[in-house]
Amino acid sequence: MNLKNDLILRAARGENIERYPVWLMRQAGRILPEYRAVRGSLSGFKELVETPERAAEVTVQPVDILDVDAAIIFSDILVVPEAMGLEYQLIEKKGPWFEKTVRTEEALKSIDTDFDVEDRLGYVMEAIRIASKEIDGRVPLIGFAGAPWTIFCYMTEGQGSKTFSESRKILYTNPSLAHELLNSITEVTIRYIKAQVKAGAHMVQVFDSWAGILGKEQYAEFGLKYMERIASAINEVPVTLFAKGAYNSVVELSKMDCNTIGVDWNMQMDTIRKTVGETRTLQGNLDPCALYSSHSEVERLTNNMLDSFKSKRHIVNLGHGVYPDVDPEKVKTFIKTVKSYENHY
């Protein structure tokens, strides 16, 4: 299908763009009353994720309401551990919770790797097909998955955590178990991303949300190694690697076979640009909390960020996902400011 707006794909490939493209991580869901209405009509988050027609509906909402330059499929990174045999629940105000975890060889044996992703995660691919039809070429559709290290964190910890010390303990006490599990997650994730592309995803992002809790050497061994395998395996569409907090590994990330590197708000865009050069596109990085300020302040802060860009190779985003209680009107101001910016590099 011909895309009417392919700005983000051109920006990812380093081609010419007439302005910077903009979208928000976690734009599907959370902030929109229209999302909450759909979610409220079902039993909860999981039913929404597993009902392709409704998942497609909330995927398209930000395109209609916020006027972003890309849609991201509504799903969650936790569908992968579930497909591998660890069922999760989303507990209101607490977050994800897994009944079973993988901390021993015995638990590892019960983990499933050799399954057909179309069979077990077919609802995601179906949501992609339906969303593509509804978007009708207005903007590209982004597919995604969690990075192996971040998925490992949830599979071993069994829930969210500030420190993920159960997960990190295994790196010291049983590194071979860690590698076996990371390897299985990587294999499934590559097949899963390829299936999303086949279903219609125009680009993909790998979220390594917990990259920043490891030191440089451990992240190289237990994180980057597996990120690299994914990046090398996906050649069909542009790939974005978002390793939150991985300041010490930007050089290594920029050598991977990817188009775009996600930058969080703690990182200095011009420093990262100096490190990466012109060979990769950078995505980010307004502090998600900046959207709590006044409309004029959102405008000023967004313009400041755009002024700091020293290249056309940028995709505008926040430095992490948008927070649930942000006023959608502030998000609109952010997007309008990017779209009306005139001092493009």
- Token pair belonging to 271: 């420093």
The 10 Å Cβ neighbour count of residue 97 is: 14
DSSP single-letter state for residue 322: P
Q: How far is the CB of 318 from ligand CP3 (least distance, A)?
A: 10
For residue 54, indicate whether it is catalytic.
Answer: no
> Which of 23-31, 185-193, 258-266, 306-314 is the region at the interface with ligand CP3 (rule: CB under 6 A)?
23-31
For residue 39, indicate whether it is catalytic.
Answer: yes
Give the C-alpha separation, 101 to 107, whole Å: 7
Q: Which listed residue (154, 192, 219, 226) is catalytic?
A: 154
Residue 95 lies near ligand CP3 (rule: CB under 6 A)? yes
User: What single letter denotes the amino acid at residue 39?
Assistant: R
Give the list of residues 6+ apart from residue 102 with CB closer than 8 angstroms, or none. Answer: 86, 108, 111, 155, 156, 181
Interface size with ligand CP3, residues (CB under 6 A): 21
Give the C-alpha separation, 143 to 119, whole Å: 18
Indicate the residue among 234 and 341 with the shorter CB distance to ligand CP3.
Answer: 234
Q: Which listed residue (39, 129, 138, 300) is catalytic?
A: 39
Q: Do 186 and 148 contact (CB within 8 A), yes or no? A: yes
When binding is defined by CB under 6 A, the residue of 28, 71, 261, 286 that contacts ligand CP3 is: 28
What DSSP letter does each residue of 238-303 carry, written as one string?
-EEEEETT-GGGHHHHHTSS-SEEE--TTS-HHHHHHHHTTSSEEEEEE-GGGGGS-HHHHHHHHH
Q: How far is the CB of 14 from ligand CP3 (least distance, A)?
A: 24
Residue 326 lies near ligand CP3 (rule: CB under 6 A)? no
Residue 46 lies near ligand CP3 (rule: CB under 6 A)? no
For residue 120, indicate whether it is catalytic.
Answer: no
When binding is defined by CB under 6 A, the residue of 3, 42, 65, 90 that contacts ligand CP3 is: 90
Residues of this chain that bind ligand CP3 (CB under 6 A): 25-30, 39, 45, 72, 74, 76-78, 90, 95-96, 144, 160, 207, 209, 321
Residues recognised as catalytic: 26, 30, 39, 76, 154
